[in-house]
Structure 1
Amino acid sequence: MSEKETLVRFGISMPQSLIEQYDRLIAVQGYSNRSEAIRDLTRKALLTSSSMQLDETVAGTIVMVYDHDISDLPMTLMELQHEYHHAIISTMHIHLNHHQCLEIVVVRGKVQKLRELQQRIQVLRGVGYAELSVTHVDEHGSSHEHSHVHA
């Protein structure tokens, strides 16, 4: 929020038990007041891929947990990632235990395509979890080229 932006007050009605739970949660998270916690919840809600325009360019991650022992699942996931290679920036693969793998796929592209990729992963047999998390990308902001030196 910019310093020049006007704050607007409004009222919220909640059951007593819900507000007590909420107050405990925001205290644990370190908020000094309900207003800032509600602002953060609102910002988070506005960043869900379902609340964004389908043609909006975003960046984010697809986090998945799957059973690598399911027949052909690792190969199917790899082929799917190759199919969407223009949207995939990087991946990280972690072995959670003998059967489960956690994979983080860093993505950038149109909401519609990224959501499509996440949904195609989610419905595969053996995938226990697949979640897309995104943030806005300012396509009109400054774009500066930079190089990396690798040793």
Structure 2
Amino acid sequence: MNEKESLVRFGISMPQSLIEQFDALIVHQGYDNRSEAVRDLVRRALLAPSHIVSEQLAAGTIVMVYDHHVSDLPIVLTELQHDYHHEINSTMHIHLNHHQCLEVIVVRGVVRRLRELQQRIQVLKGVSYAELSVTHVDGQEKVPHDGGKHNHTHTHTHNHDN
């Protein structure tokens, strides 16, 4: 919320037992009041990938767990990630045990492409988990006409006189 936005008050009705559980949760999480906690819950709900427009620009992560002993799976995953190199900013690979790896892929791009990548990973034999989590939606930017795959050309002038 920016400083120019005004706050709007509204009431919420819920059973006593639910509000007691909520109050205990927000105290445990360190919130000063219910309003802050509710605002964060709403923000989180609005970032659910199913609620974001497919052509919106977003950033987030794809977390996956897979068995690296499954035939050719590491090679297939690497090739797949190369197909989406415009959307992938970084990856982190962790060995969970002798067979399983956890990989976190930091992504940014058009939500449709991010979902597509997650789905293509999820269906691979040997992948036990693949989840897209959107952590930021850029509401100001419009998707470029080329789907975000454009090159930046900059002219640089250099003065070599010291």
TM-score, normalised on structure 1? 0.84
Provide the rounded CA distance (Å) in 1 between the counterparts of 2:110 and 2:73.
26
Picking from 141, 146, 158, the partner of 1:139 is 141
Q: State the Cα deviation string for residues 123-150 of structure 1 (Å, max 9, x = none).
A: 222222212122123538xxxx9xxxxx
Structure 2: gaps of 5 or more residues: 143-153, 155-162
Q: Tell me the number of residue pairs that the alignment of Structure 1 and Structure 2 aligns.
A: 141
- Structure showing greater radius of gyration is 2
Q: Percent identity?
A: 71
Pairwise CA RMSD: 1.8
**Per-residue deviation at 1:40?**
0.6
**Per-residue deviation at 1:72?**
2.2
**Per-residue deviation at 1:70?**
2.1
**Per-residue deviation at 1:94?**
0.9
Corresponding position: 1:99 with 2:112: no
Q: Which residue of structure 2 aligns with residue 21 of structure 1?
A: 21
Q: Which residue of structure 2 aligns with residue 80 of structure 1?
A: 80
Structure 1: gaps of 5 or more residues: 146-151
Q: Which residue of structure 1 aligns with residue 44 of structure 2?
A: 44
Q: Which residue of structure 2 aligns with residue 118 of structure 1?
A: 118
Provide the rounded CA distance (Å) in 1 between the counterparts of 2:39 and 2:48.
15
Q: Which residue of structure 2 aligns with residue 63 of structure 1?
A: 63
Q: State the Cα deviation string for residues 49-108 of structure 1 (Å, max 9, x = none).
A: 221111111122111111212222212211211221221122111111111111111111
